[in-house]
Structure formats: C-alpha cells, structure tokens
A and B are shown apart, each in its own frame.
Chain A
Amino acid sequence: MGSLFSAKNREVFSTPLGLNNPVTVQVLGICSALAVTSKLEPAIVMGLSVTIITAFSNVVISLLRKTVPNRIRIIVQLVVVAALVTIVSELLKAFAYDVSVQLSVYVGLIITNCILMGRLEAFAMANGPWESCLDGIGNGLGYAKILVIVAFFRELLGSGTLLGFNILNYDFMKEIGYVNNGLMLMPPMALIICACLIWYQRAKHKELQEK
C-alpha cells in the first residue's frame, strides 16, 4: 500500500492545485467559471460536481483504456461522462433543488467542460485507475479552488453577502455612502478576477512566465 501515496502520486494530485492549475495555467473551463461564480454557493456545488465527475470518469476510462478501440474512444469517453453528469444532475435536483435551479444548464454543460475531456485524453488513457483517480480529484479541486476564490470576491463585493449571509449590507454602511458594485455580478468581472489570479501566480512563479 505504500506506493499508493508515493511521491509521484502525490505530485499527480498536487500539481493541478498549483503549478498546473486547469483554470489559471491551462486556461480550461473558463466558460463555467464565468457563469456560476456570481454567488459562492453554486460555485462550491459546481466545483464539487466537477471534481466527482472528473474522478469517476477518469477511473472508468482508465479501466477501459486497453479494451476501447482507438477510433471510437471519444464516443466512449462522452458516454461515460454523460452518464455521470446525468447522475450528478439528478442527485442535485433531488437533494439540493435550489442550487440546481441556480446552476440551471451549467450542470448539464459539465459534459462540454474542457477539463474533463482533457484529463481523459491526456491522463486516463495512459495511466492506471488509482493514479487517474488522484489526477481527477486534483484537477477537479484545482478548478473548484479558482471558482471559490472568484465567487468569494464577486459575492462579497457585488452583493455584500457570503453564502447568503449579510456581510456588508448594514445601515451604517449605507449611511457613509457604500454601494455594492453591480459590475461584480456581471460576467466580465469574473474574467478580470481570473486574470488577476493568473497575474499573481505568474508573478510568484518565474517558471510560468513566457520568454
């Protein structure tokens, strides 16, 4: 069992959280990062859903990788992902109806999330199920991390709340003239916050900068 958490496997899990983050370094999954991050709660649910789906689809495809003919592999991958997305979508509708209404079509659109197909093609097709599982969880959490950071700023500055709890909307704040920033609730601001995160990460890690 020692090899389960060997240095290589730990790296498979941890690089997507930082130096090879799917959103800020590979710039994948930007569409949903714009769409679901105006509030913190849907962003967390979305992040977790993607994490679960990436992990399970990575495991399934990794198990199937030697039996799937190369020509039809994309179709097989899509079927697996679509099945998982449907399961997650139904679960959300059953147990977290309000959030699933807020996320609307974006749960279904997880199937088109580039991170999923990217990980299946780049990792699960070439590695064993345990590594693939770690890779899926790592990438899902790396995606969720960025979503949560973006949603934190957008909800705090745009609505003055966090997870629906009042943070800035007090009477004395209104007395001194504070107004919530409406631009924060619009998609462009998610891009700009993403850009700031990329900026910060690149300034910190010299190896990420292009020549």
Chain B
Amino acid sequence: MKALRNYIDKIKPNFEEGGKYQAFRSVFDGFETFLFVPNTTSKTGTHIHDAIDSKRIMSLVVIALIPALLFGMYNVGYQHYLAAGVEGSFIEKFVYGFLAVLPKIVVSYVVGLGIEFVVAQWKKEEIQEGFLVSGMLIPMIVPVDCPLWMLAVATAFSVIFAKEVFGGTGMNIFNPALITRAFLFFAYPTKMSGDAVWVSGDSICGLGKTVDGLTAATPLGIAKVAECPDFSLDMVTGFIPGSIGETSVIAIAIGAVILLWSGVASWKTMLSVFVGGAFMGWVFNTIGPDTAIAHMPWYQHLCLGGFCFGAVFMATDPVTSSRTENGKFVYGFLIGAMAIIIRVLNPGYPEGMMLAILLMNIFAPLIDYVVVQGNISRRAKRAMSNK
C-alpha cells in the first residue's frame, strides 16, 4: 500500500497542469481517487461528512453484483450445453460462460468509461464514478446473444443522452443501465426478445458446439404464448433461460444481503417492490383476465424474469429513486404493481420490470414533492391549532 502511494505521488506531477501527460489528467485523477480515499476537505461552511465516499459505495454495489454475475456466467454455459445436447463438466460450462460474458463487460466498460473520461477532460471536471455500477449492470441485463456492436451503440447512447446531458452522475433522471436496455429493446427487438437469443449457439475457444438455430424460451415467454409453466426449483436457483444476471433468485439474494447490510440500498424500496408485485399478482389471480400469464401464481411472478434483479439493484438506485422515506414505499410499491400489470395486460412484451422502473423514475420527484408538501402542510396545521 505504502509503495503504491509513493509511486502515485511520484508520477503525479506529470499529470498536473503543464505536465507531460496533462491530457490524461482526469483519467489519472479517477484512478488515484479510486485507489485511495482523497483527503481533501471543504474550506467553507460546516459539513458533515461520511467516512465512505461515492466511489466506495459504488464498489460495494459491484461486489454485491458478483454472485449474480458468476452464476450468470455458469448458467450461460449450462444453457448452451443443455440446448446443444453435449456433455460438459462444471469447469467447462463455467469457462464457456465466462468467455461469452467477458467481452460484453469489456465493451460496456470501455465505451461507457471512455465517454466519461472524454467528458471529464473536456469539462475540466473530476471523473464521475457512477458508471462503475452501470457498466457492470449493462452486460447482466441483456441476453447472451446480443451482438457487441449493438451493446456499444446502446451504451454510448445511454451514457450521452440519459446521463451526461443531464449533468452526469447524480443528476440523471433515468437509470442509465435500463436506458441501455430500453434502447436495445426498441431498436433491435429481434436481438433482445423472442426464443432465439437466450442461449448462445457458438462454440468458444473449442468449448461447446456450434449449432444453428438453437432456441430456448424464457418461462415468461412461454406463459405469454402458451400455458403457464409449473413452478419448479430451477426458477429459484436460476437454471432457466434469461438475461445473463437475472435468473438466479439465490445469487441476487446474496447481493441484496450485502447491499442491505452495508446500508447502500434502502430496505423500504426493496420490500415494497416485492409487496407491490405480490399484491398485483394476487389481484390478477383472483379477478384477472383468463390468460395463462394472469393465472401465474404471485410467488412465481416474483421469481421469474428481471423482477428480483430489478427490485434489488435497479429500483434501489439512490439517484433515480424517491429520496423521502415515505416516498420510497409508494415508489417501490408502484414499480412492483406496474411490472406485473405490464406483464399481464400488455400483449407485446413478456417482461415489464424495465418499463416499470423507467416509468416510476419519472414519477419519483413527484412522489417526493407530494411527501414533502404533505409534511409541510401537516406541520403548518399543527402550528395553527396550537396557537
């Protein structure tokens, strides 16, 4: 640690104004503050400052994502070996999935951080760390067959139009990772939905087998067009086709525990998303239309698709969710309810979590406004009656 600190201090002058590499000032600054907590303090006014800054918070979220990511990698291999009908050991399946997912992570980070670095250098600001999490979320919420160039285009679109134009990290209205997915979903629907994208059909580095036209439908897709599949343990453990990181409830639960234990995510939002989803699922079970997806039990709704992933990692995004404590309950409940409504009533899309969260992102400031105004008028009334 000491040696690293000394080394950074030694090379630092090169990156400052007038130094040899001043064009990379923001990049250097980004890495330095990533490795060491900066010890700068504000010069004016009184500030109460937490010991951990936003780079440390972002790192915690990335750590919480790792179980779901590792499981997602294994599941990519598992689904491929299953659909191609070849035998493979645990290691082979995992390595196959690792090699299939790794390029997506690299593309997402290179494109997103590249744009962040350029913008930071251009506006002479520090590098903003928000993309650390988005860059990890993006590869986890796309199907394994999504081509890399599409991922790059969508990432660039979302970083520029959902984030930088609003003022960068902390100022965005929409979750950038979900905007990436929404862009892919509407721009290239053939590569984002249907039966052909959820399982990889190529052999990678000699692993697996190249088979044309491999298909595997997600349980939600089946429930949309045919009948509702029976609830099985695979839907909890995650051995079902789906976007890379979203299938395993258990792996996501580990992440949720990390987030809740460290206090990064709000339990109020998380819990109320599940309550909202369960409630709406129950409503459709009782009085819903006579379709297979409306008859799907509420607990199955919660396990399938991106529901858990969205509830744990996307709905709790501190920037785009409601910030008032009571507002979080309303915000979460409406996300859960809306996701199930879109799933059941919309004829076009089998999954509704992405659209539900994006929709409620728009309403989060309004919810906060109502909560704050309600509080103000309640206190005003109390003050008046005490007179």
Within the complex, which residue of B149, B153, B183, B186 is in contact with A177, where a contact is CB–CB below 8 Å? B149
Within the complex, which residue of A177, A182, A183, A192 is in contact with B147, where a contact is CB–CB below 8 Å? A177
Within the complex, which residue of B150, B183, B186 is in contact with A179, where a contact is CB–CB below 8 Å? B150
- When distances are taken between beta carbons in the complex, the residues of chain A under 8 Å from B188 are 179, 181-182
User: When A177-B147, A177-B149 are in contact, do A183 and B161 touch as well, CB less than 8 Å?
Assistant: no
B374 near A: Cβ within 8 Å?
no
B147: nearest chain-A partner, CB-CB: A177
- When distances are taken between beta carbons in the complex, the residues of chain A under 8 Å from B183 are 183
- What 5 A-B pairs come out closest when comparing CB atoms? A183-B187, A181-B187, A183-B186, A182-B187, A177-B147
Q: Is the CB of B186 within 8 A of A192?
A: no
B187: nearest chain-A partner, CB-CB: A183
CB distance from A32 to the nearest CB of B (A): 22
Report B140-155 CB contacts with A as 1/0, cut-off 8 Å.
0000000101100100
Q: Is the CB of A182 within 8 A of B189?
A: yes
Q: Which residues of B contact A (CB under 8 A)?
A: 147, 149-150, 153, 161, 165, 183, 186-191
- When distances are taken between beta carbons in the complex, the residues of chain A under 8 Å from B165 are 199
Would you mind naming 8 contact pairs between A and B with Cβ atoms under 8 Å apart? A177-B147, A177-B149, A179-B188, A181-B188, A182-B187, A183-B183, A183-B186, A184-B187
Given contacts A181-B187, A199-B165, 5 further A-B contacts (CB under 8 A): A177-B149, A179-B188, A179-B191, A183-B183, A192-B161
Report A162-199 CB contacts with B as 1/0, cut-off 8 Å.
00000000000000010101111010000010000001
B191: nearest chain-A partner, CB-CB: A179
CB distance from A153 to the nearest CB of B (A): 14
Separation of A192 and B161 alpha carbons in the complex (Å): 8
Q: Is the CB of B191 within 8 A of A182?
A: no
Q: Which residues of A contact B (CB under 8 A)?
A: 177, 179, 181-184, 186, 192, 199
Among A177, A184, A186, residue most surrounded by chain B Cβ atoms (within 10 Å): A177
Separation of A177 and B150 alpha carbons in the complex (Å): 10
CB distance from A191 to the nearest CB of B (A): 11
Separation of A192 and B160 alpha carbons in the complex (Å): 11
B148: nearest chain-A partner, CB-CB: A177
CB distance from B358 to the nearest CB of A (A): 12
CB distance from B110 to the nearest CB of A (A): 19
- When distances are taken between beta carbons in the complex, the residues of chain A under 8 Å from B150 are 179
- When distances are taken between beta carbons in the complex, the residues of chain A under 8 Å from B161 are 192
Separation of A199 and B166 alpha carbons in the complex (Å): 13
Separation of A199 and B187 alpha carbons in the complex (Å): 23
- When distances are taken between beta carbons in the complex, the residues of chain A under 8 Å from B153 are 181
- When distances are taken between beta carbons in the complex, the residues of chain B under 8 Å from A181 are 153, 187-188
Separation of A184 and B188 alpha carbons in the complex (Å): 10
- When distances are taken between beta carbons in the complex, the residues of chain A under 8 Å from B149 are 177
Separation of A192 and B183 alpha carbons in the complex (Å): 13
CB distance from A105 to the nearest CB of B (A): 25
CB distance from B267 to the nearest CB of A (A): 35
Separation of A52 and B186 alpha carbons in the complex (Å): 36
- When distances are taken between beta carbons in the complex, the residues of chain B under 8 Å from A179 are 150, 188, 190-191
Separation of A186 and B183 alpha carbons in the complex (Å): 11
- When distances are taken between beta carbons in the complex, the residues of chain B under 8 Å from A199 are 165
Q: Is the CB of B186 within 8 A of A186?
A: yes
Separation of A177 and B153 alpha carbons in the complex (Å): 14
- When distances are taken between beta carbons in the complex, the residues of chain B under 8 Å from A184 are 187
A182: nearest chain-B partner, CB-CB: B187
Separation of A199 and B161 alpha carbons in the complex (Å): 12
Separation of A181 and B190 alpha carbons in the complex (Å): 11
- When distances are taken between beta carbons in the complex, the residues of chain B under 8 Å from A183 are 183, 186-187
Separation of A67 and B165 alpha carbons in the complex (Å): 50
CB distance from A160 to the nearest CB of B (A): 13
B149: nearest chain-A partner, CB-CB: A177
Separation of A183 and B179 alpha carbons in the complex (Å): 12
A176: nearest chain-B partner, CB-CB: B149
Separation of A186 and B186 alpha carbons in the complex (Å): 9
- When distances are taken between beta carbons in the complex, the residues of chain A under 8 Å from B190 are 179
- When distances are taken between beta carbons in the complex, the residues of chain A under 8 Å from B147 are 177
Separation of A181 and B150 alpha carbons in the complex (Å): 10
Among B147, B165, B187, B191, residue most surrounded by chain A Cβ atoms (within 10 Å): B187
Separation of A177 and B148 alpha carbons in the complex (Å): 10
Separation of A162 and B170 alpha carbons in the complex (Å): 40
Separation of A184 and B150 alpha carbons in the complex (Å): 14
- When distances are taken between beta carbons in the complex, the residues of chain B under 8 Å from A177 are 147, 149
CB distance from A182 to the nearest CB of B (A): 5
Separation of A179 and B153 alpha carbons in the complex (Å): 12
CB distance from B130 to the nearest CB of A (A): 21
- When distances are taken between beta carbons in the complex, the residues of chain A under 8 Å from B191 are 179
B153: nearest chain-A partner, CB-CB: A181
CB distance from A7 to the nearest CB of B (A): 38
A158: nearest chain-B partner, CB-CB: B187
Separation of A181 and B187 alpha carbons in the complex (Å): 5
Separation of A156 and B304 alpha carbons in the complex (Å): 38
- When distances are taken between beta carbons in the complex, the residues of chain A under 8 Å from B186 are 182-183, 186
